[in-house]
A = this chain, B = another copy of it.
């Protein structure tokens, strides 16, 4: 679950990390008033769950309250398309109005999971303010990784190594070392999957300030953070993905036109690969899970059908925990409810296969059966 910048900064503040003075505006008038109170100049930043908003025009340094008003008016209620969103973009419902800082230097700092080290890792770079993935591709030698041993926590020698790598000295180095320890504490306390500050700045008067803040909470750990659950902003999520997630269905919206319903994540990825190889780009990844009922399958198929770009549906089920008859009944249910006439290719195997086929045959739907993945691929490319 992603948090907004202003939410993340509130948490940072509680751990003693400096952030610029700021206030959230929900209307253009609020944007003007807040900017006015800040002395007339401010950074006005769209609060969206997507990186790359700067390049996409989601951030503006405003020199007057009127400029803030005009910018707010132009962006609030609109959709912002960034390199990290789809073509539709994400809605801008709030703006963070922030005091301007006198920047001397900018740093990148993040914490995430390092699968190879099987631990958390702190990542730093002196290339703060840039797109870090571009930096990683172009100049990987200025990206530094520091794995953190869970039993020890982040050790002081590691913070010294990082400030050395970043080329920082004096009081700022000590402040950043302290900040790193606090960030690791935030990461642990809130069960984060990603914490990122880009940029962390050193001001001209040597203050260390988090100019941006990104905090993703691990979905699997949300159950123990009741307070954080309330910070979820559903407006920022892909609506199909969000409603699938509500029903415990793993769904990812893709660009193609072949809707796919599969049980199991591995088989679902394999199914996309097969569809792609057959020349039919998948419209989605969907894992309906093992313990699905008729109704859950129907909901999953309905999510697929509600996607306007879908031109055909492939159901690929290896009946084990999810029985073939359940998959068949759910699919038929969804097709009928939606009065759907799109081609339906079904490949089923395993438990209750014959019952499943029987249900589909008797459904009145135009079902194309496939026994193997090869046949399924062929049927897709021909439909």
* A residues in contact (CB < 8 Å) with B: 150-151
- A150→B153 CA distance, assembly (Å): 12
Minimal Cβ-Cβ distance residue in B for A149: B151
- A151→B150 CA distance, assembly (Å): 7
Which residues of chain B are near A151, meaning CB under 8 Å? 150-151
Which 2 pairs across A and B sit closest by C-beta, in order of nearness? A151-B151, A150-B151
A184: min CB distance to chain B, Å: 15
Which residues of chain B are near A150, meaning CB under 8 Å? 151
A278: min CB distance to chain B, Å: 48
A120: min CB distance to chain B, Å: 13
What are 2 A-B contacts defined by CB distance under 8 Å?
A150-B151, A151-B151
- A150→B151 CA distance, assembly (Å): 7
Minimal Cβ-Cβ distance residue in B for A150: B151
- A151→B152 CA distance, assembly (Å): 9
Minimal Cβ-Cβ distance residue in B for A151: B151
- A151→B151 CA distance, assembly (Å): 5
- A151→B148 CA distance, assembly (Å): 13
- A151→B153 CA distance, assembly (Å): 10
A247: min CB distance to chain B, Å: 30
A54: min CB distance to chain B, Å: 40
A316: min CB distance to chain B, Å: 40
A67: min CB distance to chain B, Å: 49
